[in-house]
Amino acid sequence: MKKRKALITKSYKRKKRYFKIFHYIINRLFISVLRLDFKRVFYCACCLLSGTFLFSQNTAETKKVVSILKEIRIVQNNDEEKALNLLNEALVYEKKLPDSLLIKLYDTAGELYLFREIYDQALNYYHSELLLQKKIKSTDQYITLKNIGNVYYNVGKDSMAKKYWTEAIAGYKKYGFPKIYILYNNLAILEEKAENYDAVKKIYGDALASSTKMNDHKGKIMAYQNLGIVSFKQKEFKEALNFFFHAKKIAAQFNEYDDLAGLFYNLGCVHYNFPVKNKDSAEYYMKQSFLLSKKYHYLAIQKSSSEALIQQYEDERKYERANFYLHHLAKLNEEELNRATDKQISRVEFKYKQMLKQEVLISDQKTKKWIYFISFFILIAGCIILFLIYKLQKIKLIKTGLENQLLLKKLDERNREITKKSIEVLHTNEILDVTKRKLTDLKEMPGSKPQITSILNEIKTSQKVLNLEEFEKIFTDTHKDFYKKLIELYPHLSRTDLKLSAFLRLNLSTKDISAITGQSQNSINIARHRLRKKLNLKEDENIINYLIRM
C-alpha cells in the first residue's frame, strides 16, 4: 500500500508539472495573439505542438510496456520463448520509462532469467531494480534483496546469499511483510549444510514465533514441519512426531493439500525409522501421501512416497505391491526425464540465440568504436588544422606588428632628424637675418672695418644661440601630447625643465644640447640631475627611455 501511494503521488506530481508547462505556453500564446506578435505566436504554437507530441508519445510508450508486461505474466509459465521475446520488445523503451514502470520491467526480467537459470543476467536486472527502489525509497526493495539472495544461493555463493537474506528479513520484520518464513527457511538451509542443528532450530523457532504473531498459517505449517525434519535428523523421533502433528492439524484446517502430502510422507518416515518399526502406520501415511500427491499432481512427493513404499514392500517381501509402485515410479522418472530434456534443449537453444545476439551486439559495438575512432581522428585533425591556421595568423600578426614597430621607429628617427634640421635651419636663418641687418647699416657708415670685425666675431659666437620659441613650436608640432602629459604628471616643472625634457625626448646628447643652447656641458649635466630628482626616477632608470615612453 505504501509503495502504491508513493507511485500515485509521483505520477500526480509529474502530471501536475506537465499541466503547469502547458498552461504557461497557452497563456503566452493568448497574450501574443492579443498583441499581434505573430513571431511569438508561431514560437509558442511550435512549443505547444512539440510538447503535446512528446507527452502523447511518452504516454503511448508507457501504455505499450504495461500491456507487454501483462502479456508476459500470462505466457511466462507456458511459453518461455515468447515471454523473453516480449521482454526484449519492452526493453527497447527502457530509457523512456518512469522509474515505477522500470522497476516492474527489471523485476520481470530478473524473474524470467532466474527461471531460465541465466544467473548473471538475473543478477544484473535485480541489482538495477534495487538501485531504483532505493532511489524512490520503496519498501519492495526487501523483496528484491530476497530475490538477489536466491540467485547467489543458486550459483553456490552461500555467504552472499546469507548477507542479502539477512538484510531482507530485517525489512520483512519492520514492514510486516508476509511469507517471512521462506527467508527463515533459506537461512536454516545454509546452517543445515554446516550441520549446525542448534542454530537451525533457533531459526525455525524464530520463524514460528514471527508467523504466529502475523497469524500466517502457511508460515506456521512450514516452521513446524522444518522443526520436525531437524528433530528427525537428530533421531529425536517423538519430538519430530509432535511437530509434524501440529503442522498436519493446521494444514488440514486450511486445506493445504501440498503441505498435507509432504507431512504424510514425513510421518511415514518417522514411523518406519523408530527403533521398533511401526510398519502399519508407516504404510498408511505413505499411501496417504502417494494418493494425495497423485490427485493434485505433486510429482516430487509422488516419487518420494513411491520410493519409500517400494523399499518397505521389498523389505517385507511383498514384491507384487512393490512392483506396482516401481512401475509408477519408472513412469514418473521417464516423464521427469523428458521434461528435463526438453527444458535443457530449450535452455541450450536460448543460450545459443543469446550468444548470436551477443555476437551481433559485439559486432555493432566494434563498428561503433571504429566510427567513434574515425570521428575522433577527424576531430583531432580538424583541431590541428585550426591550431595551425591560428598559429599562422598569429605569426602574421606578429610580423605585421614588427613591421609597424619598424615603421614607427623609422618615423621617429625621421621626426628627430627633421626636428634637428629644422632647428639648424632656424638657427642659421636667425644668424643670417641679424648679419644682413648689420651689414645694411654698415654701408652707410664710414670707417666700417672695426664693425665688420665685430660682425664676424658675433657670427662666430651666435652659432650657439637658438630661438627657443621657434624650437618649442616645431617640437610641439612633432610631439603633440608630450608637454601636456608631462605637466599633468609633474605640474611643478619649470619652463627650463620642460625644454630640457624636450631635448632629451629627442634623444640628444649633452654635447648636442650644449651646442644648441649655448650652455656649458656641466650646466646641462646639473640641470639633467635636477630633472631626474623632480621626476622621482630611480638610480638605475634611464631618463631618456622614460621620456621616450611617455
For residue 503, give the CATH number of its domain: 1.10.10.10
Lowest mean pLDDT among 232-241, 417-426, 475-484: 417-426
* Calpha distance 130→143 (Å, rounded): 9
* Calpha distance 494→491 (Å, rounded): 9
pLDDT at 350: 73
Q: What is the torsion angle, in degrees rounded to the nearest 10, for the CA atoms of residue 523, residue 525, residue 526 and residue 530?
A: 140
Handedness of CA 153, 157, 161, 164 (dihedral sign): negative
Residue where a domain stops, chosen among 170, 190, 210: 170
Residue where a domain stops, chosen among 145, 170, 195: 170
> In this predicted model, what pLDDT tens digit does every residue of 163-173 receive, in sequence order?
999 999 999 98
* Calpha distance 424→361 (Å, rounded): 92
Residues constituting the chain: 550
What does the pLDDT average to over 88-95?
A: 88
Q: Is the pTM of this model over 0.75?
A: no
Q: Does residue 91 sit within a domain? A: yes
- Are residues 205 and 228 in contact, defined by beta-carbon separation less than 8 angstroms? no
Q: Does residue 25 sit within a domain? A: yes
Domain containing residue 121: 1-170
Q: Is the pLDDT of residue 54 over 50?
A: no
What are the backbone dihedrals phi and psi of residue 254, each rounded to the nearest 5 degrees, phi first? Answer: -105, 10
- Are residues 110 and 129 in contact, defined by beta-carbon separation less than 8 angstroms? yes
> Which residues does 119 contact at the CB level (< 8 Å), separation at least 6?
113, 151, 154, 155
Q: Of 315, 273, 307, nearest to 289 (Cα)?
A: 307
Reported as a pLDDT band with limits 50, 70 and 90, residue 435 is confident
Q: Does residue 29 sit within a domain? A: yes
Q: What is the torsion angle, in degrees rounded to the nearest 10, for the CA atoms of residue 417, residue 421, residue 422 and residue 425?
A: 180
Number of domains comprising the chain: 2
Q: Which helix (H) or strand (E) holds 141?
A: helix 141-154
* Calpha distance 501→483 (Å, rounded): 9
pLDDT at 466: 52
> In this predicted model, what pLDDT tens digit does every residue of 337-394 receive, in sequence order?
888 888 788 778 777 877 887 788 788 878 888 888 898 889 888 888 988 888 899 8
Lowest mean pLDDT among 12-16, 384-388, 395-399, 493-497: 12-16
Residue where a domain stops, chosen among 112, 137, 170: 170
Across 300-314, 408-422, 450-464, the highest mean pLDDT is recorded for: 300-314
First to last CA, the chain: 84
Q: Is the pLDDT of residue 471 over 80?
A: no
* Calpha distance 316→326 (Å, rounded): 15
Rounded (5°) CA angle 347-349-352 = 110
Q: Quickly count: other Cβ atoms within 10 Å of residue 352's Cβ.
A: 10
> Which residues does 409 contact at the CB level (< 8 Å), separation at least 6?
none
Q: Does residue 401 sit within a domain? A: no
Q: Does residue 424 sit within a domain? A: no
Q: Of 92, 93, 104, nearest to 133 (Cα)?
A: 104
Q: Does residue 449 sit within a domain? A: no
Cell reading at 290? 502417494
Q: Quickly count: other Cβ atoms within 10 Å of residue 400's Cβ.
A: 10
Q: Does residue 526 sit within a domain? A: yes
CATH number at residue 51: 1.25.40.10
- Are residues 187 and 162 in contact, defined by beta-carbon separation less than 8 angstroms? yes
Q: Does residue 512 sit within a domain? A: yes
What are the backbone dihedrals phi and psi of residue 92, each rounded to the nearest 5 degrees, phi first? Answer: -60, -30
Average model confidence (pLDDT) for the chain? 81
Helix (H, G, I), strand (E, B) or coil at 493: coil
Q: Is the pLDDT of residue 1 over 50?
A: no
